[in-house]
Amino acid sequence: MSEEATSRKLTELAKRRGYFFQSSSVYGGVGGFYTFGPQGASLKGHLEDAWRERFSVQEGNMEIDAPTIMPEPVFESSGHLDTFDDMLVDCPECGESHRADHVVEDATDHEDAEGLPIPEVEAIIAEYELVCPSCGAGLAGQAVDDFNLMFATNIGPGDAQPGYMRPETAQGIFVEFPRLKAYARNTLPFGVTQIGRAYRNEISPRRSIIRTREFTQAELEQFVDPAGEGPDCSSVADVPVRLYPIAEQQEDDGEIVETTIGAALEDGVIADPWIAYYLGVAREWYETVGVDMDRFRFRQHLPGERSHYASDCWDAESEIDGHWIEIAGFAHRGDYDLSKHAEGSGERFTVFRQYDEPQIVERATVDPDMSYLGPEFGGDAGAVVGALEDLAATDRSAFDGEVVEIDLEGETHAIPVEHTGFSVDEETIAGEHVTPHVIEPSFGVDRLLYTVLHHAYREDEVDGEARTYLALEPEVAPTFVGVFPLQGDAALEAQARDIVAGLRAAGLAVTYDDSGNIGRRYRRQDEVGTPFCVTVDYESLEDEAVTVRERDSTAQARIPIADLAETLTALRAGERSFAELE
Ligand code: GAP
């Protein structure tokens, strides 16, 4: 079975069994929007809970929940209004719009077309005589344009206050920094997380829920002191990782580097300790939720590929259908966002860094003689004072001679130093205001969900019959246990329903099923990835015990009803193995 066939079968299963399907299909549907059905919503919720537990609770970070629509100035400052663009090319025949860089990457050996300037992309389309992926018409000579990916809206009636659906949850955290730093008692480092929807008007949404127009991100903004110490990486030093750094990507025979987080940091393959730390945490976490580590790697962004705010970025990538897809990005955003929002809002986006000991510093100041400047410069005297103050702060040697030269609207003026009141004084300061740097692990929940399903998809044969099952981790499976009465018998049904109530009271996700033969009921649960099934039979009425069946091995064990909740809870937590029970 080819990998493409796996994806096709998975998409069909997802629709039939309620994982996900195209939204609004009764009205024809529209590309890039999906509804998660009962199984999908549950799996997604479990993945989000697991992420929250690991990246927010265990890391001691704060979680917030910000609005998805934000006013225009936010995106003017963040740079999304100007630069959050993809390259668009329209087909002259069918009118379909395509991402020009994807057209190039899919049909040539250019791997990083996204980072090329538009004229170069136009030239490649012409040189290779590339065609429309929808109808096959030639695209040579068609203009390639920038297309902003944000969904625009108006806040309130009229168009006086434009707003945008946030293209990343991150901005909801950055704009609240002045308040968040107070909750963190003005102490770096601290982290803020958010799980929520993001919106991008993708030119060509494709490959099921991998590229959609509305999706969920789980983001962590780690605010750090640029001169501060990195995190303690000892807990992740031995985590094995497969890395694909820039240097290897640029070699013809470049290879994946198999190493550990500790070694990669020591060798300088990963430059920033915070990024290294979170790559290690993420690698371990991904494994616990069911990402196959033989189909997983971290790839460093090539320079032309990085977002406008990032100075370095590593993607977590999973293999699907023989292709690597980005499921998370770990970016070094520097002070880009906080500085831009400080500039745009006029608010303070800094943290006061207290020195261990107060420091004595020299400060150069001016105290100009206005009885001289007033008559000399008239209405420009104030501007002269400002220029002198700037000069004293930036270049005190300018005051070494008998006159100081300042520039005022392109004209140079010489002012006798004796009229500037220049002096250098000592001052004791307790600390300084610094703009924190941001390290951002940013996870896509939908792509993770797809990866988890794809990596869990299995086909085998049971009792001579073909079977499809999802080997989902018990921690994230939508339903943990299916309970069945063996036959349509009132006594069996009553006992099965009692068991359901008891297991639900113990906090387990349980489904009750009494339709069809027992084999079909097992198949149904296997197909949605339910790890265990419990069957109540006539013996159960006598011995107060039930048959528990494990999904992957189909092995069975007889368990007393009185121990059932405790046993299943221990299996769920990985404290016991099914083999012990058999
Ligand atoms: N705040 C940083 C940021 O948004 P990104 O790499 O653009 O970075 C982060 O997005 C993650 O969001 C990606 O790794 C991916 O998993 C997910 N993502 C981005 N665009 C997506 C789309 N159109 N459909 C589904 N998931 C998407």
- Cβ-proximal residues to 214 (8 Å cutoff; 6+ apart), any chain: 32, 33, 197, 198, 199
Say what the pLDDT of residue 447 is. Answer: 98
CB of 561 closer than 8 Å to CB of 546: yes
Per residue in 364-375, pLDDT (tens digit) is 999 999 999 999
pLDDT at 569: 96
Q: What is the mean pLDDT of residues 214-238?
A: 97
pLDDT of residue 310: 87
217 CA: nearest ligand 1 atom: 12
Q: Is the CB of 327 under 6 A from ligand 1?
A: yes
Q: Which of 514, 512, 496 is nearest to 564 (CA)?
A: 496
pLDDT digits (tens, 9 = 90+) for 533-574: 999 999 999 999 999 999 999 999 999 999 999 999 999 999
Task: Identify the pLDDT of residue 112.
Answer: 80
How buried is residue 417: exposed, middle or buried, by Cβ count under 10 Å (0-12/13-18/19+)? middle
CA of 11 to the centre of ligand 1 (A): 21
Which structure tokens are listed for 331? 């970016």
CB of 442 shorter than 6 A to ligand 1: yes
Residue whose CA lies nearest to ligand 1 atom number 14:
328
pLDDT at position 527: 97
pLDDT tens digits for range 337-354: 999 999 999 999 999 998
- Which pLDDT score, from 0 to 100, does residue 303 have? 86
Domains identified in the chain and CATH numbers: 3-84+149-336+439-445 (3.30.930.10), 355-434 (no CATH), 479-581 (3.40.50.800)
Retrieve residue 66's tokens. Answer: 């910000």
Residue 337 near ligand 1, beta carbon < 6 Å:
no
**What's the average model confidence in pLDDT over 109-128?**
90
Q: Do the strands 411-416 and 403-408 form a parallel or antiparallel pair, or are they unpaired?
A: antiparallel
Exposed / middle / buried, residue 15 (Cβ in 10 Å: 0-12, 13-18, 19+): middle
197-216 average pLDDT score: 94
From the centroid of its chain, how far is CA 475?
Answer: 21
How many other C-beta atoms lie within 10 A of the C-beta of residue 393? 12
Quick one: DSSP state of residue 301?
A: P
Average pLDDT over residues 291-310: 92
Residue 351: which of 343, 342, 360 has the closest Cα?
342
Ligand 1 contacts CB of residue 318 (under 6 A): no
Between CA 193 and CA 45 the distance in angstroms is 16
**Quick one: which of 104, 108, 111, 114 has its CA closest to 142?**
104
Is the bond into 560 cis (omega within 30 degrees of 0)?
Answer: no
Predicted confidence (pLDDT) at residue 153 exceeds the cutoff of 50: yes
Amino acid identity for residue 313 in this structure: C
Q: 244-285, pLDDT tens digit by residue? A: 999 999 998 999 999 999 999 999 999 999 999 999 999 999
| Mean of pLDDT over the chain | 95
Are residues 478 and 509 in contact, defined by beta-carbon separation less than 8 angstroms? yes
Between the alpha carbon of residue 361 and those of residues 235, 423, 430, the distances in Å are 40, 14, 10
Q: Give the pLDDT band of residue 2 (cuts 50, 70, 90).
A: low
Percent above pLDDT 90 for the chain = 92
In this model, does residue 3 exceed pLDDT 60? Answer: no
pLDDT at 264: 98
Tell me what pLDDT residue 305 has.
Answer: 85
pLDDT at 1 over 50: no
Nearest CA to ligand 1 atom 11: 444
Q: What percent of the chain has pLDDT over 70?
A: 99
